[in-house]
Structure 1
Amino acid sequence: DPVAVVALLNELGAAPSLTMIIAGESLLNDGSAIVVWSLFFGMYTDPESATSPMALLLRLVVGGVLVGIACGGVMMFWISLASRKLEHNDTTIQVAITVA
């Protein structure tokens, strides 16, 4: 259970980068499981169509990358805007924007 591992790492005072790697790996595993389940469910419900699951996989991969780039660009803009307006790096605002 990655939640328990992250909590244990926080209690032990492990490096934040290690905690971030464990949490990111958990999210990647969850996303991969959803994609694989969707592909097999599509093949089960419509065995005649072999291209439909591949089209879904391509759409999810390309769409995920594009949405990630767009969201990352918006967040970078907001963080730079908040830093410029305040004329200093306010980490609380930057973290709040990142979490939002």
Structure 2
Amino acid sequence: MVLVDVKMLSGFTPVMASIEELENNGRVMKTEVKNDHVLFYLETVFGTANHFTFSVEQTNLVSNIQPAPVMVYDYYEKDEYALVSYNINSVSVSQ
């Protein structure tokens, strides 16, 4: 099992309906929202490309928003992981 741990950008929160939809349509096995992190549980990511999206909303105005990490790791072997950062410029904005 693989975990994708997405830290929310400062001032943003996940839209729960979009998180629940990923679980309901089978894109992810399970989801959890803890503090300012969204955890996605996947069966596996090895050997195949996998992508999914979810919506966030800005709940607080924050200036100079810093990048936030996304960590992907094996649930049973936490020392096997990949880490990347994202920022407000790397996300799609819709109104």
Q: Which TM-score applies when normalising by structure 1?
A: 0.28
Higher strand share: 2
Q: Which has the higher helix share?
A: 1
Highest CA radius of gyration, 1 or 2?
1
Higher relative contact order (CA 8 A, sep 6+): 2
